[in-house]
């Protein structure tokens, strides 16, 4: 590896952030060019770049012959999985899985408590200035307490593990599903004191193929999977039918994990009790979507991952990986293009 490393960042960076990257090593030659598309960066610059830190600006492979590593500032990169650059065996690709887990896990907890404590119905009563009769309180506002609930976490990665950590404190029974049940531990990036690095917080671990069995026991189902060809519409009509009629779905993964037409039908028929959705198959969610008007649905505009701390924590992760790159150690969060994550 030569002495100087050309690092290109395609996003705005504060002076403090630039200094943090530059101070990592005297070998770093940092260039910051805020860009929305590859054409915003000159061909001569693309030719030199060796490390790229970006949201979504990717050059054509032939324009970046020296590129060795792309660090995305996002955990989900399914939109770019087929990009030729990511398919190149010459370029390492990493995401920020494990960085934005705390705030997403708190969103999930919010949704679980909102449904469990009947918050949507309480707000409807408030809007109508209606005080319920005593009999209505027991009928309409009987809570679903987490201590007596079973929560299924579909996708036991960094987000799912942090959800499990939070729920463990409430005494919930946690069932988890992941691709490889032979390895319940987490070897990816995770801040100290977060997640479930050793697989301690679930009662049972299921293979994805046993999803129906898991769902039949759950009061709440949390989706945190990446979107791949194998996970697209993993919650389809048949899977929704396997759920309890009193169960709720919370999706903070990707919109394509759920067959929305099947979900709408299940919600209308009260085949399931409700859903909290932060992601959708089409975003922004179209105004004519029936989901908007459903009283058993909580809709948020893909905000579960935003945080005042996001820029700092993603930069900290990038610098950790820079140090590993310079030391020729394996990078955290290597993406396998064939897997899609």
Instruction: Answer for the pair 218, 194: CB distance below 8 angstroms, yes or no.
Output: no
Active site residues: 254, 283, 302
d(CA 246, CA 272) in angstroms, rounded, equals 6
CA 88 to chain CA mean position, Å: 25
d(CA 117, CA 6): 53
Q: Which one, of 35, 36, 68, lies nearest residue 49 by Cα?
A: 68
Contact call for residues 318 and 68 (beta carbons, < 8 A): no
DSSP codes of every residue in 74-123: SS--GGGTT-HHHH-TT-EEE--TTTSHHHHHHHHHHHHHHHHTTHHHHH
* Distance, C-alpha 136 to centroid of its chain: 38
Tokens of 58: 């990717």
Question: What does the alpha-carbon distance between residue 203 and residue 73 come to, in Å, rounded to a whole number?
Answer: 33
- Cβ atoms of residues 220 and 112 within 8 Å: yes
What would the two tokens of residue 214 be? 């898991």
Phi and psi for 207 in degrees, rounded to 5?
-75, 155
Classify 241 as helix, strand or coil.
helix
């Amino acid at each position: 590896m030569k002495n100087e490393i050309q690092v290109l960042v395609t996003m705005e960076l504060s002076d403090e952030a630039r200094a943090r990257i530059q101070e990592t090593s005297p070998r770093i030659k940092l260039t910051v060019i805020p860009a929305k598309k590859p054409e915003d960066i000159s061909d001569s610059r693309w030719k030199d770049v060796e490390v790229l830190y970006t949201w979504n600006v990717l050059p054509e492979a032939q324009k970046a012959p020296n590129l060795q590593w792309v660090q995305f500032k996002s955990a989900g990169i399914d939109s770019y999985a087929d990009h030729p650059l990511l398919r190149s065996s010459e370029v390492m690709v990493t995401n920020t899985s494990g960085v934005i887990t705390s705030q997403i896990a708190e969103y999930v907890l919010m949704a679980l408590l909102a449904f469990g404590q009947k918050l949507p119905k309480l707000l409807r009563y408030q809007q109508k200035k209606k005080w319920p009769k005593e009999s209505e309180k027991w009928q309409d506002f009987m809570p679903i307490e987490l201590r007596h609930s079973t929560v299924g976490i579909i996708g036991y990665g960094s987000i799912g593990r942090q959800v499990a950590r939070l729920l463990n404190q409430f005494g919930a029974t946690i069932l988890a599903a992941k691709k490889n049940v032979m390895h319940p531990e987490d070897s990816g990036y995770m801040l100290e004191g977060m997640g479930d690095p050793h697989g301690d917080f679930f009662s049972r671990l299921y293979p994805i193929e046993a999803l129906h069995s898991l769902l039949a026991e759950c009061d709440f189902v949390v989706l945190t999977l990446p979107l791949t060809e194998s996970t697209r519409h993993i919650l389809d009509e048949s899977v929704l039918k396997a759920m309890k009629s009193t169960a709720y779905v919370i999706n903070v993964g990707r919109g394509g994990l759920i067959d929305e037409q099947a979900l709408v039908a299940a919600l209308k028929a009260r085949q399931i009790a409700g859903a909290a959705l932060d992601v959708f198959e089409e975003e922004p969610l179209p105004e004519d979507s029936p989901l908007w008007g459903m009283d058993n649905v909580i809709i948020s505009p893909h905000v579960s991952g935003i945080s005042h701390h996001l820029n700092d924590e993603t930069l900290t992760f990038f610098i950790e990986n820079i140090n590993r790159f310079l030391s020729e150690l394996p990078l955290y969060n290597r993406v396998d293009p064939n897997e899609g994550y």
